[in-house]
Structure 1
């Protein structure tokens, strides 16, 4: 279930969670509420990125993952975070990414 949540992020839907056995309406509502709370808490709207160090607090939670995650942070013209998404989940020590298929697809 975690890979689906990482892939969909804030766009996670009831249909995405309905695919898993043991996830009923109550658990679905709880999971969606937790994802929305996390989105607001971890990436509040209007956060401005001036240096790469400014992005670290927003992606720090990926440090504890066992596999390497290649992330793409999208910003608007004012350098405010629009979205942070997982482009690729790799092995323990590497992640394979194709620029045209992975990174530029969402840009």
Structure 2
């Protein structure tokens, strides 16, 4: 069993180890422990860090805020910090390979939303495009059961306006696995298409995705 942090020699503590040898010298648990800073009265930081590491291995992608909160010793602040680190890494280090991709069909969208297709909650994503049909950015607008009060035009189009987007493609996943659009899905699509028309930002499509397929509301005649 690993020593508690207070019993770990200074030269073996994550902060000192990183300062002297660089981040590459730290294993995953040490990096997480450095991020967490400390544990709780009941659990040492090493215990919490190992639980987070095991969760991240199983998650296989961007961590979920609600899942992180289920780990004993992780509160709202730490969950937000971990997710912020992942997002910064995606933006500045690895590069998400999204910007500049040309979208000609619904199939072109699937690789851009692969990480959300199998999520247990509904994720509503807005993909902004320039006048040439190239992707500018993709963003999660909301998480949870979709309804017209949550997926408000203001939340969908605020970043599209900042991007100076010519059009958007909307995407959300169905955790149930069904590709059948609900009445709520159709209502949201109509509302956002009308708002986009007023703003001069066309809604090109609204795509429902699951692990095993997709449904284009444009191809189904709803746009």
Bin the TM-score by the shorter chain: 0.5 to 0.7
Question: Aligned residue for 2:128?
Answer: 74
Q: How many residues are paired up?
A: 81
Matches within 5 A, 1:1-107: 2-3=64-65, 19-20=77-78, 31=86, 32-33=88-89, 36-38=92-94, 40-43=95-98, 45-91=99-145, 95-96=146-147, 97-99=151-153, 101-107=154-160
User: How far apart are residue 2 of structure 1 and its match?
Assistant: 4.0
SS of the equivalent of 1:46 reads: coil
Highest Rg: 1 or 2? 2
Gaps of 5+ in 1: 4-18
TM-score for the superposition, normalised by structure 1: 0.59
Q: Give the TM-score normalised by the residue count of structure 2.
A: 0.31
Higher RCO, 1 vs 2 (CA within 8 Å, ≥6 residues apart): 1
Partner SS for 2:78: coil
Q: 5+ residue gaps in structure 2?
A: 1-62, 66-76, 161-223
